[in-house]
Amino acid sequence: MSRSTSLVSADWVAENINNPKVAIIEVDEDTALYEQGHIEGASTFHWRDDLQDGLIRDLVSKEKFEALLSKSGISNDTTVILYGGNNNWFATYAFWYFKIYGHQDVRLIDGGRKLWELKALPLVKEVPARASTRYVAKERDNSIRAYRDEVIAAIGNLNIVDVRSPAEFSGELAAPAHLPQEGGQVKGHIPTSKNIPWSKAANEDGTFKSDAELKDLYTGAGVDLAKDTIAYCRIGERSAFSWFVLHELLGVTNVKNYDGSWTEYGSLVGVPVAVGA
């Protein structure tokens, strides 16, 4: 869990496009992006169709995850390289997902699709064909996933980090501003949570800030990193980004992503809600 084991540069990717031990996967909110052009050799996962159960609100089962990776030609010893649009939101969600199911070597492209585009690096339309495998996932690692009851129990006790924009935290907006304004039944935030937007961890080109800047970001906002931390947003993808920063870049082990996030919490009956900055 460090920058060297969890993050690769765009240049590293360009040098490893034909490395058979490497599988590059684009994960987007808007899957049309992949079809418009992607990094050579990259396949794509759809954050909802491939990574959501579809019937109940949950991750896909271990068996479905194994089938997805087997079909995609990924072996247990493959180095999986993830990237995507929206400053890697859904790519970090997929990273967290790979860790939930125990994949050993998964890394993120620093800067994601945006930096690749801003550097005018080549994108292709060819869809790669990798020979299928028999992937074997581990049982879910729930040490990095928070559920609603432990979030409620954490109020006033543990670090709760709301990584949404200030306007969503205060209750002004219900969703990120590129989406129609719908989400939980009510607007606001979990009491005692600290608003540290995911975007503060990233530079304008989408790359992560330095470790020293990142540590200052959390400790400066009053997060005691010795305590357990739960990160949440609206549906759990931006909080996966902040989970990645804390857990992978800063090496803080006691951090969980609450993927139920505000769409769950903001719809619960009888739980406390705070509004305002």
Partner 1 sequence: MRTCGATPGGPSLDGVDVTTQTIIQGVVLRDGDDGVPNGTPVGNAHVRLLDRDGEFTAELPTNGQGQFRFFAAPGTWTLVVQAPGARVEQAVDATKGIPTDLVISL
Kindly determine how many residues on this chain lie close enough to bind partner 1 according to the rule CB under 8 A.
Answer: 28
147-166: which residues touch partner 1 (CB under 8 A)? 165-166
User: Least distance in Å: CB of 76 to partner 1?
Assistant: 34
Q: Is the dihedral of CA 235, 227, 107, 97 positive or negative?
A: negative
Which of 70-78, 103-111, 117-125, 135-143 is the region at the interface with partner 1 (rule: CB under 8 A)? 117-125
User: Least distance in Å: CB of 139 to partner 1?
Assistant: 36
Q: Is the dihedral of CA 184, 189, 194, 200 positive or negative?
A: positive
Contact 197, 163 (CB under 8 A): yes
Is 233 catalytic? The answer is yes
16-45: which residues touch partner 1 (CB under 8 A)? 30, 33, 36
3-class DSSP state for residue 257? strand
| Residue 120 touches partner 1, criterion: CB under 8 A | yes
Spatial separation of the C-alpha atoms in residues 212 and 215, rounded to whole Å: 5
Closer CB to partner 1, 120 or 131, in the complex = 120
Phi-psi sector, 230: left (phi>0), alpha (psi -120 to 50), beta: beta
Closer CB to partner 1, 71 or 200, in the complex = 200
Contact 28, 84 (CB under 8 A): yes
The pair of structure tokens assigned to 132 is 């299928």
Mode of pairing for the β-strands spanning 159-162 and 106-109: unpaired
Nearest-10 Cα torsion for 143, 100, 248, 46: -140
Which of 50-58, 81-89, 215-223, 257-265 is the region at the interface with partner 1 (rule: CB under 8 A)? 81-89
Q: Is the dihedral of CA 59, 60, 66, 69 positive or negative?
A: negative
Site string for partner 1, 176-195 (x = CB under 8 A): xxxxxx--------------
Site string for partner 1, 192-231 (x = CB under 8 A): -----x-xx---xx--------------------------
Closer CB to partner 1, 40 or 150, in the complex = 40
| Residue 1 touches partner 1, criterion: CB under 8 A | no
The pair of structure tokens assigned to 211 is 């470790």
Catalytic residue chosen out of the listed positions 59, 94, 158, 233: 233
| Residue 54 touches partner 1, criterion: CB under 8 A | no
| Cα end-to-end distance, the chain, whole Å | 33
Neighbours of 68 (CB within 10 A): 16
Closer CB to partner 1, 30 or 211, in the complex = 30
Mode of pairing for the β-strands spanning 79-83 and 255-257: unpaired
Which of 63-71, 73-81, 148-156, 174-182 is the region at the interface with partner 1 (rule: CB under 8 A)? 174-182
Residues in the site for partner 1, rule: CB under 8 A? Answer: 30, 33, 36, 85-87, 114, 117-120, 165-167, 172-173, 175-181, 197, 199-200, 204-205
Active site residues: 233
